Amino acid sequence: MKLSTKGRYAVTAMLDLALHTGKGPITLAEVSGRQHISLSYLEQLFARLRKANLVESVRGPGGGYELKRPATQISIAEVVLAVNEPITATRCNGKGDCQGGDVCLSHQLWSELSDQIYQFLSGITLDHVIQRDFVQQVAERQNVRFREEDVIAFG
């Protein structure tokens, strides 16, 4: 299974929101700055995440995005699926038409792997990931760099 940029960036952006929960709405510019994801790409992803009821937007001054539910209730699988990223290891994306419209020899094997991957990602919430020591260390480094870049940019 290869997770595309869309799925990886959606998970990364949602982790960023989860890490900054309780600090008010987070702008996509902040996420973009910390995670080095283009703002226009984030806008596309967040339109899908909003449609899937994973995030909500807050308009006006001080606006941005917040998680719609607690990080303990949002699985990584939900995020990946919200941006239309299939969670499958099959060549045919689970359709069963891998070999000229028919199932190939290894279809069932890859289908079972897909089920395992889905179960794995369904069992991990945003909160599980952000509680990891390594993730906390990376987030702190990103926050420091982002603040430093802010100081340089705005004097």
User: pLDDT tens digits, residue range 18-29?
Assistant: 999 999 999 999
- Taking the C-alpha atoms of residue 93 and residue 95, their distance in angstroms, rounded to an integer, is 6
Whether the Cβ atoms of residue 64 and residue 26 lie closer than 8 Å to each other = yes
Segment holding 58, helix H or strand E? strand 55-58
Render pLDDT for 88-133 as a digit per residue (tens, 0 to 9): 888 888 888 888 888 899 999 999 999 999 999 999 999 999 999 9
Domains and CATH numbers, the chain: 5-150 (1.10.10.10)
